[in-house]
Structure 1
Amino acid sequence: MTLFPTVAAFEAALEALPAADEAARGAASLRQTQLTKPPGSLGRLEDLAVFMAGWQGRERPRFERARAAIFAGNHGVAVHGVSAFPVSVTAQMVDNFRRGGAAINALADAVGLELFIADIDLETPTADFTTGPAMDEAACLAALNIGADVVVPGLDLLVVGEMGIGNSTSAAALCLRSYGGTAAGWVGPGTGVDVAGIARKIAVVEAGIGRHDDFLRTPFETLRRVGGREIVAIAGAVVAARLAGVPVVLDGFISSAAIAPIAAAYPGITEHCIAGHCSAEPGHERLLAALKLEPLLRLGMRLGEGSGAAVAVGVIRSAVAAHDGMATFAEAGVSVA
């Protein structure tokens, strides 16, 4: 089944985002007051447990099946020298993911995440968005649905990540179009470009926004005009997860930028999302502030491919384990009188 057969269907989904289960949240909050610890002594772990309870709709959330979905795509703007690597590296890294040799493979294994890799038309980069839309409507819808398809029945948690040479340039353009400011305020080194490379990225983002600024600013139009296939797929996965009541862990700047156009119009989209970490990419801190998300971790990471989010899953798993496994005062025979 195609979740978003038309643009209208995607827009209708954004207008009808379901809320968390407040009864489950309330029950989980009450349980936290009964566990054998001083109230608030586990800090944010307590908040995470209640968050998971609300989105899973159960007082004691479970962590039986969690998936990391990593999407890969190539970008036409790479022709402008915005990356330290050629676009051929995207496919080479996807091969590495499939062979089990990347950071995300090791990190996913460490925290019990099943790994799903979706490479999207790597042989056909998106169009150069400085000259026209990155994608036509059909390609953008296709990418949204590739993302939506990773949300399968029985998921307790979804991690989203990406791989795509040139995609930090696209992410900066999405942020600029969604939240304003300057291109320089959103552009960073990405794969490690030098000062000249950053200047090229700024020029590309300015040119792209200038080219599209007069066109309709819906989330879909923003994604198709200056996004990328893997970025749009992340947006589709996040929306599909919301419709299914599955909490999502966002990775770094690019994963977060994927929902920026949606969040600018529908701020509630972030309510089922956890920011796994704040990356070293300069624009990520500013973007998380705009999304009103407080990152779980600050480790100076900037790899992408879902790596920071995967590390954060260990914290979330701990929060759920403590919430479910601790005894209550009554069960332990501990008097608080």
Structure 2
Amino acid sequence: MPQATVAVSMLRALLAYLDAQGLDPAPLAQAAGLDREALAHPERAVDAAHYERLMQAGIAALHNPLLGLEFGMAAQPDRWGTLGFLLRHCATLGEVLAYQARFAHLVNAVGEGRFVAHDDHVALEWHSAGSRMPALVEEAFGAWVRFARWASARDESPTRVEFSHRAQGDPALYESFFACPVVFSAPACRLCFDPALLEVGLRTPDAALAAHLSDRVAARARAADARDVQARLMDWLKETIGHATPDLARASVALDLGERALQKRLQAGGTTFSRCVAAARHELALTYLRDSGLSVGDISHRLGFSEQSAFQRAFRRLQGQTPLAWRRQR
């Protein structure tokens, strides 16, 4: 499952919604650890903890535990950035759901929607790598249903909705929006609907534009995947360097990728395995140099260099000065 992130467009949409409810968004953003720079780029991915804290702050300020559901009920396509424009120009709801399953992690990787076909219905199930506050699940379900109704210009509804948590408010409010039975404290969270809905057409289909937007979103997905792999590789390298030789074969096993697949992911991110090794060693070198109790020779040995001179050359190549010169400036 992708790392738990959300797009800044989601945060901006929630702040705008809270503003419309009469709240000052500035202190709410501050409480969530968000500054102006963090919110500047709509399609940038940030740690989902910011989104969860913002939702918690909004619930507390409004004294409304149903904020997540109500925010989902007000969803518009621009909340999802480029993906939202792609979805609105699909031909059918089935095409929308296929793109959602493929690309939703670019916008909201707090949880993952998986489709399960049964004899008499299709279920969209929510999966997350850990416990998530009910408001986040309710926002996702509310937004999925709201978008389907808006995009198809039809007041369609699921046949059944299940949440694994308890009702956050009057159950009648849930049933009023979803227009179907809603079950709480269920084994899983899922939206169940008639398979015929997959064939329902949308009101603004545009095959050429959808194909163009699909290519753009796919490119973003590849870049995001490459960044995720590179981040995981850097973590592994920093744990491994000094204890074992950080070669491609060991890295591939640790990241559960084939060697060629790992090389391709790194290439997509504009780097190589050897560059990542050099970058990890350099980051560790800067950390070790801040410790005055370690000599340059000690650091060279910890980083796995065969000779101190090799470490000094590598450091100077990246930093533009020798390790001792850098240490003296600290």
TM range (shorter): under 0.3
More helix by share: 2
Q: Give the alignment's TM-score, normalised by structure 1.
A: 0.26
TM-score where L is the length of structure 2: 0.26
Structure with greater Cα Rg: 2
